[in-house]
Amino acid sequence: MSDQTLPQTHRITITPAALPWLMAAAVYAMLMLLGQKLLNDPDTYWQIALGDWIVTHRAVPHVDTFSSTMAGAPWISSQWLAQVLFSQAYAVAGWTGVVVLTASCIATAQGLMTRFLLTRLAPTPALVLSLAGFVLASPHMVARAHALALPIMVTWIALLIRSLDDNRKAPFAALPLVTLWANLHGGFTFGIFFIAPVALEALWRAAPSDRKRVFLHWAGFGLCALAAACITPYGYESILVTSRILGLGEALALIGEWRPQDFATLNGFELCLLAGIGFALLRGLTLPPIRILMLLGLLHMALSHGRNAEMLGLLAPLIIAAPLALQLGRDSAASPHAPATPWPVIAVLFVALTGASAALAQAIDYRPNARITPASAVAAIKTSGKSHLLNSYDFGGYLISAGLRPFIDGRTELYGGKFFAWHDRAVTLQDIDSFLKLLNDRDIDVTLLTPDTPAIGLLDRLKGWQRVYTDDGAVVHVRVEKTKDAELKPLPPGPGQ
C-alpha cells in the first residue's frame, strides 16, 4: 500500500491575549442590540442640550440658564466634557451616535477589567468574574457621563491595585487620568479617595524601617492626584460637587438610582451576591485585612445606593484577583504583565463591529423611551401659549431639549434636597396646601405631569383648570381663569342620579 499523506486538522484556538477584546466586542454587540435601553434616562436629554450650549458659547456654565425656578443661581457642571462628547455624537449621527459612544466606553471598560484579571487568574475564573461584574453594572448602563468615565475608572483602580500586587511604587505616570476623569464625571472623587486604602495596605506590608518612606511616598502621590483633579475649568470646585450631591438628604431616597438595593424580588445583584458568598464558603476563600475593608466598602456603597453597583461589579474583581489566584491556583498562561496586544484580532473585530453597527443603525430606530419623551404633550403646551410650567421630575430633561424652562429637572444638586422634597410632597398631595400654594405663589398656568401623579386628580376638580391633553405617558392641564380660592368643580352625577 502506497504512503498517503493525511491532511492535518487545524484547530482554531483563542489565546488569553484575545479574550479581553472578544469580551469587549461581545459586550459592545449586546449593547448595540439593546441600544434602546441605553437611552432610558431622562438626563440624557439635558446633557446633550448642555453640551450644545457649551459648544455654542465656547464656555462652561457657572449659573443656571435652563430652569424657571433657579435661573441665575450658581451652578457648575463637572461633567462638561462628557456633555460635549454626547452633543457632538448626536450632531454627527443622532441617537445612533449616542448609543455607539456609550456602548464603546462600557465595552472598553469591560475589556480592560478582563485584561487585568487575566494577568492574575486562569481564563475561567477571570471570565466568570468579568461576567458577574457586567451583570452587577448593567442596571446603571445608560447614556450619561458616568458611562464615558468607566474605562478611566477601571484603568486607574487597576493601576493602584497592581502597584500593591507587584510591590511597585505609586503610578505617578497615571495622574493625567485623574485630570481627564475630573472633566468627565464627578466620580473622580472616589478615585482619589481610593488612594487611602491602597496606601494603608502598602504601609501594612512595608517593613517597619520603611514605613515613613512609604507614607511620604503615598501622601505625595495623593496630593499630586488632588492637584491633577483641579485641572478643570472650575478648579477645586469640581471636588465639592460630590459632597453637594451626597448632602441632598431625604431627596436621595426619592430618586430611583440613589435608593438602596431592593431584595423584594430576586435580581441580578442578589444572584451574584449569593453566588459569591456561597463559593467563598465552599472553597474557604480568604482575603488580606485591607482588601476585606476595600471589598466591604464597595459592598456598602452598592447596598446603600443602587447606582454604585457598577463600582462593585467593575472594581471588586480587581481587588480580589491576586489573593484568589493564590488560593484557586494560577494558570500557567497567566502572566503578571498584560498580554501582548493581538493587533490582527483587534483589526478584524473593529471592521466587523463597524459593519454591524452600520447595519443595526438601519434596522433599529434608536430613540429614548416615550415615557421620558412627552413630545405631543409639549406640543400642546406650546399651543396653549402658557409659560409658567410645573412638571414631573422625569420630564425636565426633555423640556430643556425642547426649549422650555422646567420647574425641576435631573440637576438635583442645583435645586437642593429641600426644594426637591418640597416639590415631591406637593405633586403627590402629601401636603395639599403646599400644592395649592405652589400653584398660586409661582403663578403656575400649565402643568405637565405623569398620569400616576396624585395632583392630576385634584387639578381635574379645581375650578379655573382644564385638562387639555392626555396620553399614556403625560397629562397637561392649563389654567383658564384665575380664582382667589381653591374651589372644586361639582362632581358629575353618579349612576341612577
Cα–Cα distance for residue pair 200/214, rounded to 1 Å: 10
Q: What is the pLDDT of residues 194-241, one digit of tens each?
A: 999 999 999 999 999 999 999 999 999 999 999 999 999 999 998 888
Maximum Cα interatomic distance, the chain, rounded to a whole number of Å: 112
The pLDDT confidence band at residue 9, using thresholds 50, 70 and 90, is: very low
Contact 406, 427 (CB under 8 A): no
Same structural domain, 272 and 410: no
* Residue 493 belongs to a domain: no
Which of 29, 186, 18 shows the shortest CA–CA distance to 114? 18
Same structural domain, 198 and 295: yes
* Residue 64 belongs to a domain: yes
Which of 249, 308, 340 shows the shortest CA–CA distance to 19? 340
| Residue 5: pLDDT over 80 | no
Same structural domain, 212 and 185: yes
As a whole number of Å, the end-to-end CA separation of the chain is 107
* Residue 490 belongs to a domain: no
| Residue 15: pLDDT over 90 | no
| Residue 495: pLDDT over 60 | no
Same structural domain, 315 and 380: no
Q: What is the pLDDT of residues 455-484, one digit of tens each?
A: 999 999 999 999 999 999 999 999 998 776
Least trusted range by pLDDT, from 79-83, 177-181, 196-200, 439-443: 439-443
334 or 366, which is more confident:
366
Same structural domain, 273 and 381: no
Using the 3D structure, point to which of 357, 381, 408 is the last residue of a domain: 357
- Domain assignment of residue 252, given as a range: 16-357
Same structural domain, 141 and 228: yes
Contact 201, 291 (CB under 8 A): yes
Same structural domain, 166 and 305: yes
Phi-psi region of 429 (alpha: psi -120 to 50; beta: other; left: phi over 0): left
Neighbour count for residue 244 (Cβ, 10 Å): 15
Cα–Cα distance for residue pair 236/262, rounded to 1 Å: 36
Cα–Cα distance for residue pair 32/103, rounded to 1 Å: 7
Cα–Cα distance for residue pair 289/27, rounded to 1 Å: 33
Joined together, the cell numbers standing for residue 149 give 468615565
| Residue 26: pLDDT over 60 | yes
| Residue 193: pLDDT over 80 | yes
* Residue 496 belongs to a domain: no
Is this model's pTM higher than 0.85 or not? yes
Using the 3D structure, point to which of 329, 357, 385 is the last residue of a domain: 357
Same structural domain, 308 and 441: no
Same structural domain, 107 and 210: yes
* Residue 102 belongs to a domain: yes
Same structural domain, 318 and 439: no
Domain count, the chain: 2
Cα–Cα distance for residue pair 423/420, rounded to 1 Å: 5
Q: What pLDDT score was predicted for residue 337?
A: 58
* Average pLDDT of the residues of the chain: 91
Backbone phi, then psi, for 326, in 5-degree steps?
-70, -25
Cα–Cα distance for residue pair 341/331, rounded to 1 Å: 19
Same structural domain, 311 and 346: yes
Same structural domain, 433 and 353: no
Q: What pLDDT score was predicted for residue 348?
A: 87
Q: What is the pLDDT of residues 36-82, one digit of tens each?
A: 999 999 999 999 999 999 999 999 999 999 999 999 999 999 999 99
